[in-house]
Structure 1
Amino acid sequence: MSRGGMQRHRPIRKVKTGGLYTGLVGQSWAIVFSTAGHRVRIHDNNPEGLSRGMKSILQKMEDLEAKGALRGSLSAQEAFKLIQSAPSIEQCVSDADYVQECVFEDFKLKQGVMAEAERFVRPSAILASSTGNIFPSRLSEGLKLKERIIVAHPLNPPHLVPLVEIIPAPWTAADVTSNARRLLASVGQEPIVARKETAGFIICRVQHAITAECFKLIRDDVVSVDDLDKLMPHGLGLRYAFLGALETSYLNANGIEHFCNMYGDAIYELQEQSGPPIRLEGATLQTIQQQIEQRIPLDKIDERRQWRDERLAELYRLKNKKSSE
């Protein structure tokens, strides 16, 4: 953010954002910022991909508008007019206050994009990466503006799933983290800040633990893949859509201390019995792939993603329903 518009207790001014790469996550970030009234430029090194991305963004916003789930007060057309395609990184980021990098999860590629972006951005700009597993200290190492670089890792798609984790490097300037948090909150995201770098960050540390336990249950032939995949949408996920995991435990007893007194030993024993880490490969992987593919053929995966996004839009609308409706 530029210094003039992001001082504490002042309202967030409309900023210029630059998005690098127009894949699914990049498109979604463009929707997040434009529907909040910010000017957005997006870049992709593939001109055809950039053109497809722009068309996809408009289609998604129009679909959300038709369902009453478009964020903000702007129409889809009004928000889309705030988005411009940029044929080069320089044109994308040269006057941006905030840059969100969304290229493939490849360290050399991401650091290369950051290195090129820092050549053209303002010294006061924030450079954020959507990476889910590269430490910001590694990503920014050796770069001239390394104190302006953070990770802002979303859940996919961020315009429907608002949580985003902000991870600073040890040398990230304090105002970068605080200003990024304020900006992301102002556009409807739900930012959380990691106090230190940790493997898997926060989202993946919890999410991958669930995935690994699912693999163990299939490996040990405890349950079928189809039945296991009912656990979240028809069970835990219903609570977790509105409650945090710790609050869930808190409410399931008379506070978290009471919960741990009742179940702490059993949970400890369960962790021991669950066994060592499991690699997501081999026969177990093939079993899961085959059984899910029977239900969702790979040539139908885009249709299933669309179905997912429609359900997320409905849930977003429900969770943000105004009391007067």
Structure 2
Amino acid sequence: MVSAAAPTPPSPELPARPAHSPAGPAAPQPRPEPCAPAGRGEVEAPPAPHPRGQAPGPCRGRGAGGASARVARAAAVSLGTARPMASPGSSAPGGVAVVGSGLIGRSWAMLFASAGFRVKLFDIEPRQVTDALVSLRKEMKMLELSGYLKGELGAEEQLSLISGCSDLREAVEGALHVQECVPENLELKRKLFAQLDKIADDHVILSSSSSCLLPSKLFAGLAHVKQCLVAHPVNPPYYVPLVELVPHPETAPATVDRTYALMRRVGQSPVRLLREIDGFALNRLQYAVIAEAWRLVEEGVVSPGDLDLVMSDGLGLRYAFIGPLETMHLNAEGMLSYCDRYSEGMKRVLKTFGPVPEFSGATAEKVHQAMCVKVPDDAEHLAARRAWRDGCLMRLAQLKHQLPQ
């Protein structure tokens, strides 16, 4: 995912459990070298992910016993061959480095901190780090007040686990996992991973948030290639749990296993791609939907607004709980029954699909105008709609967490 250049979304308006007013941003604090803490105060025991390998739910209760008891409940559990956690501020191994302080990087920092991990948030620009820490404080305080903060630790406890760095070596020192979140540019990412390769030890996992760059191109020639993979989140990662794990052809199976376990521990839903493919799984599915949606509008079959309703009030409701393959299985007496009944019709329709659209010209203008009627394309309206979207996603995540699987 492209992250560093992404804007910070405004806090979504949510139904508050306790009565509250939105938390305002904290004043920027001076950044001590090399790392500045995002929170005030210290936790009273070494933090770590949740007990028994349980992923934190979207809205887990805080429990009794105060900060000490909550941190104690987040006792250390090993992640395969991962090394044990260390206390905040310690140079001992066990933390997570997030490289890139844009929207995706900040979301990763929040997720790791929610599970008790010590996080160093790196950006080459100190001002970007300072702004990111201020944004994190505002967002996490708002989430806590509205009852949607993830994990068992409170906002201050989680913030105390996050520090900002503008020195890459310092950020990576002692980390068990590095999550890269710089803009989606192959040359930029390759240069960064070449730097990481020089300073990484033989234990740390080097992971990219790339949405489409192939691991074989990202990690080519690295000495630590067996420790490298892509962990592609869905935007916004704090509210949408899917993470695609895509290995390099030489990635060690243990690297994938450890990353899978880590993603589960921070409340995400990892899926393993058995080999790399252009676009990975999510974007291949997404682009197929977008292409046919575009063709239907371009050919005058349906309006842009009604096309979106086909997904949001039709397929999307079902797919929020079961995928396309299980849908097939349930819509007949099992998968084989579905294929027997409907395969000829599916093949007939699929043969009518047109070429890849250009996504430009008159159709682009038509779709743009239709979208602007619903959401004007100025910064204020777009930000408000994103906030509404994120609030909906949080409530949906809570519902899914509460429902039996």
* 8 Å Cα contact 1:128/1:152 also seen in 2: yes
2:293 alignment partner in structure 1: 214
Q: Give the distance between the partners of 2:248 and 2:140, measured in 1 at CA.
A: 34
1:151 alignment partner in structure 2: 230
1:58 alignment partner in structure 2: 137
Q: Give the distance between the partners of 2:247 and 2:309, measured in 1 at CA.
A: 36
2:119 alignment partner in structure 1: 40
Shift of 1:280: 2.1
Paired residue for 2:387, among 298, 306, 310?
306
2:355 pairs with 1:276: yes
Q: Give the distance between the partners of 2:336 and 2:358, measured in 1 at CA.
A: 34
Change (3 A) 1:12 1:241: farther
Q: Give the distance between the partners of 1:247 and 1:322, measured in 2 at CA.
A: 18
Q: Stretches of 4+ moved more than 3 A in 1? A: 4-8, 10-15
Shift of 1:80: 1.0
- Paired residues in the alignment total 319
1:6 alignment partner in structure 2: 79
* 8 Å Cα contact 2:119/2:161 also seen in 1: yes
* 8 Å Cα contact 2:375/2:382 also seen in 1: yes
Q: Give the distance between the partners of 2:361 and 2:344, measured in 1 at CA.
A: 33
Matches within 5 A, 1:1-325: 5-7=78-80, 15-299=94-378, 300-321=381-402
* 8 Å Cα contact 1:97/1:122 also seen in 2: no
More helix by share: 1
Which runs of 5 or more structure 1 residues have no equivalent in the other structure?
A: none
C-alpha deviations, 1:206-249, integer Å up to 9, x for none? 01111111110111011111111112221111111111111112
Alignment partner of 1:229: what SS?
helix
Shift of 1:22: 1.0
* 8 Å Cα contact 2:126/2:165 also seen in 1: no
The structure with higher relative contact order (CA 8 Å, sep 6+) is 2
Alignment partner of 2:351: what SS?
helix
Change (3 A) 1:207 1:260: same
Shift of 1:294: 2.5
Shift of 1:298: 2.1
The structure with the larger Rg is 2
Change (3 A) 1:322 1:205: closer
Alignment partner of 1:290: what SS?
helix
Alignment partner of 1:127: what SS?
strand
Moved more, 198-207 or 274-283: 274-283
* 8 Å Cα contact 2:239/2:390 also seen in 1: yes
TM-score w.r.t. length of structure 2: 0.75
Shift of 1:47: 2.2
Q: Give the distance between the partners of 2:394 and 2:317, measured in 1 at CA.
A: 16
Q: Give the distance between the partners of 2:224 and 2:271, measured in 1 at CA.
A: 23
C-alpha deviations, 1:76-126, integer Å up to 9, x for none? 111111000012111111221100001111001111111112222222100
Alignment partner of 2:235: what SS?
coil
Alignment partner of 1:287: what SS?
helix
Q: Give the distance between the partners of 2:131 and 2:348, measured in 1 at CA.
A: 52
Shift of 1:322: 7.5
Shift of 1:5: 4.0
TM-score w.r.t. length of structure 1: 0.93
Shift of 1:55: 1.6
Shift of 1:251: 1.0
Alignment partner of 1:320: what SS?
helix
Alignment partner of 1:275: what SS?
coil
Q: Give the distance between the partners of 1:197 and 1:139, measured in 2 at CA.
A: 12
